[in-house]
Amino acid sequence: MTRQVVRRLLTLIPLVWLILTLTFIVVQLAPGSYADTIDHPGLSADAREAIRGTYGLDKPATVQYFKWLGATVSGDLGTSFLFKEPVARVISRALPPTILLAGSALIIDLVLGLLIAVTATRRPYGWVDRITTFLSLGVYGLPSFWVAGMLILIFAAWLGWLPASHMHSVGAQEMSGAARLVDLLGHLLLPALSLGLVGAAATARYLRSTLLETRASQFVLAATARGLSRRRILWIHSLRPALLPLITVFGLSLPMLVSGSVVIESVFSWPGMGLVLWRAAQARDIPLIMGVTLIGAAAVIVGSLVADLLYSAADPRAREDA
């Protein structure tokens, strides 16, 4: 087991390097540099040149690349051009909001998808099943930014129940603990729903078909013959094999937990990793772009590893014991 993990991790390091190098090339190929993005009419061409010199942008791309590579390998992510503070600090500030948002979205995705599938398969091809199948097919074609827009329109603009953007209300610092938490949850609900609903539709569609499949299998028949309750058969016997492939899906969506959703975060002005990447890309903030990419790439790799490990823990057939 340990050897398997170590071997996987070692083969994945070149992959991270490749992803980061590709990103570096893309950033270098793009026209303009940080000095050109500073919006200040009084800035002369000489001054912009001086700024390029300050940030080392006047050096050849290969020199910049090896300088960056050396610093990264020794654990130094550099200083953000835009925020004028260490990249590590910018990321550690943006990470918790993104984990909170993406984590809630993932929970909504799984719980809602599971509930819909279980309710629908209680009577397959009944009216509940038909309606939910139709709805989940409909939702799965919707762009998440559109769902976000509709939720804002209904719950923020028309009903006025929930705030349309940001993570805290103005003056939230002065609130008491409980009031602050309620305020945070209110701000969290709409973005989390926008991300989670589309996923829940896919999860429900998938779970519905696997639940129908397991219903017809021999071990469910055997469990029924043994006189087990319907509830026990459903939750213990039918659901376990149906949930297996979801482990892979959720392992693969782990990167989103840390890299965030650029679209949803910018629609809701949610101060997470997606918004940071967005601003970094617009400002040509190379250290910050590389830092966010590094975290994203690492998450992709850890995610697929975790998915594999969980899968082999849950399904003995997938273990390669050697």
Partner 1 sequence: MNGHRRLRAGVSAVAVLTLVCAIGPLIRSDPPSDPLHAALLPPLTSAVIVTLDDGTRLVAPEVTDDSDRVVVSGAGRSTRVEAARITDLDQYRFWLGSDRFGRDLLRQLMIGGRISLAVSLFSLMMALSIGGLVGIAAATGGPVVDGILMRLVDALLAFPVLFLMILAAALFRPSPLALIVLLGLTSWMGLARLVRGQVLSLRGRPFIAAATTSGSPWHRIVTWHYAPNLAGPVAQDAALRMGDLVLAEATLSFLGLGVPPSVPTWGSLVADGQRTMPDGWWLVVCPGLTIAVLVIGLGLIGDGLQRVESGGGDSDLEGADLVVQRGAGNLQ
Q: Decide if residue 158 touches partner 1 (CB under 8 A).
A: yes
Integer Cα distance of 36 and 157 in angstroms: 38
Our CB check for partner 1 shows the closer of 74 and 258 to be 258
Integer Cα distance of 267 and 206 in angstroms: 29
| Shortest Cβ 305–partner 1 spacing (Å) | 11
Integer Cα distance of 311 and 317 in angstroms: 10
Q: Decide if residue 296 touches partner 1 (CB under 8 A).
A: yes
The stretch near partner 1 (CB under 8 A) out of 38-46, 73-81, 207-215, 311-319 is 207-215
Cβ atoms 148, 101 nearer than 8 A = no
Helix H or strand E segment including 133:
helix 127-140
| Shortest Cβ 146–partner 1 spacing (Å) | 4
Tell how far CA 9 is from the center of its chain: 21
- In Å, what is the CA distance from 171 to each residue of 141, 185, 271, 304? 39, 16, 17, 41
Residue 192 identity (one-letter amino acid): A
Residues 47-106 interacting with partner 1 (rule: CB under 8 A): 105-106
Q: Decide if residue 291 touches partner 1 (CB under 8 A).
A: no
Integer Cα distance of 165 and 160 in angstroms: 12
| Shortest Cβ 178–partner 1 spacing (Å) | 31
Residues 95-134 interacting with partner 1 (rule: CB under 8 A): 105-106, 109
Is residue 71 packed enough to be buried (19+ CB in 10 Å), middle (13-18) or exposed (0-12)?
middle
- Binds partner 1 (CB under 8 A): choice among 150, 185, 221, 236: 150
Integer Cα distance of 192 and 268 in angstroms: 10
Q: Decide if residue 313 touches partner 1 (CB under 8 A).
A: no
Cβ atoms 238, 215 nearer than 8 A = yes
Q: Decide if residue 205 touches partner 1 (CB under 8 A).
A: yes
Q: Decide if residue 306 touches partner 1 (CB under 8 A).
A: no
Q: Decide if residue 195 touches partner 1 (CB under 8 A).
A: yes
Our CB check for partner 1 shows the closer of 8 and 180 to be 8
Our CB check for partner 1 shows the closer of 32 and 41 to be 32
Axis crossing angle, helix 87-122 with helix 177-215, rounded to the nearest 10: 50
Tracing tokens 């823990």 back to the chain, one arrives at: 313
Residues 1-40 interacting with partner 1 (rule: CB under 8 A): 15, 18-19, 22-23, 26-27, 29-31
Provide the binding-site residues for partner 1, judged by CB under 8 A: 15, 18-19, 22-23, 26-27, 29-31, 105-106, 109, 137-138, 140-146, 149-150, 152-153, 157-158, 195, 198-199, 202-203, 205-206, 208-210, 212-213, 245-246, 248-249, 252-253, 255-256, 259, 261-263, 266-267, 277-278, 281-282, 284, 289, 293, 296-297, 300-301, 304
